[in-house]
Structure 1
Amino acid sequence: MTRHLAAACAVMLGASSVPALAQQGPPRDEFFWLGEMNKASTVINKDEGLLDPALAPKLAQGLARVIEAGNQPGAKRPSTVITFEPLMIKEAGVEVTLLHAGRSSQDMHATYRAAIMRDRLLALAEQLGRTTRTMVELAATHRGTVVPNYTNGVAAQPNIYGHYLLGLVAGFDRDAERIREFYARVDRSPMGTTVLNGTSWPLDRQRMADYLGFGALVDNAYDASQVAAVDLPVEAGSIVTSIALHTGSYIEDVMTQYAQPRPWILLREGGGTTGGGNTYVSSAMPQKRNPGLLNGTREQASNALALAMGPVFKAHNIPPGMPDAKSARANSAMIDSAARTLQGLDRILKALVIDPDRALEELNSDWTASQELADVLMRKYKLPFRAGHHFASEVVDYAKLNAVKPTDFPYAQAQAIYRKAAAEMGLAAAELPMSEAEFRATLDPVAIVKNRATSGGPQPAEMDRMLGDARRRLEQQDDWIKERRAKIASALARLDTDFATLAKGAN
């Protein structure tokens, strides 16, 4: 065995003990997968009688040298069949093109695109799980923190901050589910379909798929490189879009607080520069602490959205099979942009400073608890909701006109408003059925959220249940990622072993 081949085989055999996406090895780019496909073709075609067994070791030697050379620091790593093949010819002679039996750049490129996207999806799923876990644990920390929530940009109702965060977690959980479902569609081997209608060579497509770690075969040869290779990037873009929208929505919710003179939620100050810190001091206005981390992450989410639209426009109004939307690098950059967005969000969640007292003060300075008046009047005193809503609305109108806070509203005035509202609504009972103590308790935002009884509400028992469910889903997601990576790692290690054994036959 030559020195170069010995070194190459040592690298290949050593890979069997390395996790699937360990970064110590060569990047899993187009060059890597072209090498893996050629290794698998050498082994399979020799075993199937499509390649002379006496010639196979020589070809394996040449291929091993090509792979070893490409793995050197700074070396060129060709990314297409037509640029990879001349390197094989140089090292093993023109006979190496016998490996091209029943193959085409169409199915080979479709295969490495699927394999690269598969890796990127697992990396995205891992980052999504990491960021979601940070959000879940922040929700646990604030499982009793009462804050205002907003609808239509206006303070709406009191809520638990942890409950609000678990609502966002539910959105990210759907994104994780989409990744898992989409992965199953990507995890199909196109190899052996050639250009679009298969080949007369009796290829073992299933064994090829097994060596490359795919879970199944692309069923239709025309679909493999003419249809799926275009719509799969579009579907990936939809997942990136959803993640970016969820992230941007949360950031904007925090950003609105920076317009307030006394926010209840901010980023912890620090960093000093626009690039690295949570906030930075304005160059002109010394009082300003600009939220650089929020701005930067929102920009990254916008970049992700822009990249996610790319496959749609590239694939629009073209006949099947055109290359416009197929670039592995462009589609990888799109998926990676979502992972970077999630990394920024993770930093934001870890940098938040929440002031529960200030949040409660804001609630008690506005009328976000007013709906509870209508609810209690209907639930306890059988008053029609619209009548109770009318009464509560009149109370709020009076309070805002006279600058009265909920904690200071005169009970006698509430009684007078009720009598007027009852007459306007045609009610028989003209007196407010609530006592003064009950009237004030009904406007207590802390009591409101604790007394919620709806499944999925912010009450302590439901918070504990949802936190437990969220943690279990994250564990299941982690297990899913590990299983998929282990499957790929095991397949590639098996290929390395069989290829190295074949290459040794040259001695």
Structure 2
Amino acid sequence: MRFQLAPLVAAALIALPALAQTQAPATAPAAAAPRAAAAAPRDEFFWLGEINKATAVINTDEGLLDRAMTPRITAGITQVLQAGAQPGGKRPSTVISFEPLLIEAAGQEVTLLHAGRSSQDMHATYRAAMLREDLLRLSEQLNRSTGTLLKLAERHAATIVPNYTNGVAAQPNSLGHYLLGHAAGFERDAQRLREAYARIDRSAMGTTVLNGSSWPLNRERMAAYLGFAGVVDNAYDASQISSMEHPVEVGAVVSSLALHTGHFVEDIMTQYAQSRPWMLLAEGGANTYVSSAMPQKRNPGLLNSTRRDASTALSLAMGVAIQAHNITPGMSDPKEVKPNRAMVDAGITALRNLERVFNGLVVSPERALEELNSDWTASQELADVLMRKYKLPFRVGHHFASEVVDYAKEKNIKPLDFPYAQARRIYAEAVKGTEHSATLPMSEAEFRATLDPVAIVKNRATRGGPQPAEVARMLQEARQKLAAQESWTRERRAHIDASLAKLDADFARLAGTR
């Protein structure tokens, strides 16, 4: 029994538009240029057409196809592609349903194109071509979302906010620095995407079923016409092994993006549990909605939908891996275009909504600083300064700072109001029995400055920290990496388009239409 997708997965698949399968007009101008289908989607039908065009050109040039047959065969290909480009035209998605249209248009002789070919290598090739396109679409949305995130980080480079570990306020930080941390995760996703693309950007054409053919096919030229960087070298690997990895590897990229999206959303969601959040969504529009029963509530609808979309993407990606599990090489279970495209589309939707979240965030620096000064997130700095300037062992300084916090919480004292005299008393008790002087070496002014969250962030010295110079450096490098990713995406698209344009021109010359 085949693996059944979960209801969430099935719902995502149902939402995809069905490919048109209705009857095409009975006749079409045979000599018209084949790129009449240019406006049509680059679906399975499109790529089967490109493969047939490339086969006609290559095999004619290299003597594998009798040149006397060329006019009839090219006219048949042109007729089928033009008919498929018409409203309601047939656009079959498999070799065995595409070939009868060719035979109807050009006779049985058109099957001379099938020398050394199989649905195995042809399907593996168009699936790789379509996954390649999906990765480029995913890259474009990732670039847009990351660009918006970097603008937000730049705007809040000097905004000091609390950060949390284990759900508890832990340290003061620059909001810009925090956002750059998320941007670093998305930059690694871009790396993973490029690496996956490089492995998918290989043509299986010419490998037939699994052990090649007695026909001396020019696999490299076929790959070049279809915009691939090269060929899958091993004929068994081409459609039996690597083609099963492709959707799983794309799923890994989508999973990572979904996880990063969910992490960010959940961090914002925790603010909605506070009575006075320092970060939330601007009210109204598609960002929030009013509770049907409780007038005071503004529910974060955009956060909810973004998290849902990320979960949908993750579930679809996991489904692909499960489908590829425990089956013999070459089976079609994880390869189908529709669910794999739905997986990528769900990832794109999650990133698009995350971009809307970035644009809709409202931050209150005053409220964030108030929260920092109402808690003891700066207490570690006491131990750090005592060790760095006064050579007090960290654990002794940590014990002192911990006792200060315990006393403050017992007496409900905030950091800025803590009595210096009590700090001196607690310090003397903390170092009792050690070789260190019982006098707190910090002056009152230094003690209070050490507890200042703004000063803590400003005085950080670690590479990669939130101090202004480091935030500026990381912003610049993040922009450079984003620009490189944008350039990479454009270049890959341009390469595919140029390759297909060359195929168009060469096929038109072969067909005598240019």
2:270 alignment partner, one of 256, 278, 283:
256
- Give, in whole Å, the separation in 1 of the partners of 2:168 and 2:28: 72
2:465 alignment partner, one of 457, 476, 493:
457
- Residues 134-154 of structure 1, C-alpha deviations (whole Å, 9 max, x = no match): 001100000100000001111
Deviation, structure 1 residue 428? 2.8
Listed as ranges, the matches of 1:34-433 within 5 Å are 34-271=48-285, 277-423=286-432, 426-433=434-441
- Give, in whole Å, the separation in 2 of the partners of 1:495 and 1:265: 53
- Residues 203-254 of structure 1, C-alpha deviations (whole Å, 9 max, x = no match): 0101100100000110000000000111121111111111000000000000
1:480 alignment partner, one of 481, 484, 488:
488
Q: Please identify, of 41-50 and 165-174, the stretch whose mean Cα deviation from structure 2 is larger.
A: 41-50
Deviation, structure 1 residue 32? 0.5
Counterpart contact for 1:399–1:409, Cα < 8 Å: yes
Deviation, structure 1 residue 328? 1.6
- Give, in whole Å, the separation in 1 of the partners of 2:297 and 2:176: 29
- Give, in whole Å, the separation in 2 of the partners of 1:84 and 1:431: 89
Counterpart contact for 1:8–1:65, Cα < 8 Å: no
Deviation, structure 1 residue 500? 1.3
Which residue identity does 2:437 align to in structure 1? Answer: A
What count of residue pairs does the alignment treat as equivalent?
Answer: 488
Deviation, structure 1 residue 10? 6.1
1:11 alignment partner, one of 4, 26, 36:
36
Q: Which has the higher contact order (CA 8 A, sep 6+)?
A: 1
User: Partner residue of 1:437?
Assistant: 445
RMSD: 1.3
- Give, in whole Å, the separation in 2 of the partners of 1:149 and 1:361: 14
- Residues 269-309 of structure 1, C-alpha deviations (whole Å, 9 max, x = no match): 012xxxxx100001111100000000000000000110010
- Give, in whole Å, the separation in 2 of the partners of 1:10 and 1:50: 25
- Give, in whole Å, the separation in 2 of the partners of 1:292 and 1:382: 52
Deviation, structure 1 residue 70? 1.0
- Give, in whole Å, the separation in 2 of the partners of 1:128 and 1:236: 14
Deviation, structure 1 residue 498? 1.0
Tell me, what secondary structure is at the counterpart of 1:5?
A: coil
User: Partner residue of 1:21?
Assistant: none
Counterpart contact for 1:197–1:222, Cα < 8 Å: yes
Which residue identity does 2:450 align to in structure 1? Answer: T
In structure 2, list runs of 5 or more residues that go unmatched: 1-26
Counterpart contact for 2:143–2:482, Cα < 8 Å: yes
Which residue identity does 2:310 align to in structure 1? Answer: A
User: Partner residue of 1:491?
Assistant: 499
- Give, in whole Å, the separation in 1 of the partners of 2:505 and 2:259: 45
Q: Please identify, of 361-370 and 473-482, the stretch whose mean Cα deviation from structure 2 is larger.
A: 473-482
User: Partner residue of 2:510?
Assistant: 502
Deviation, structure 1 residue 376? 0.3
- Give, in whole Å, the separation in 1 of the partners of 2:31 and 2:268: 58
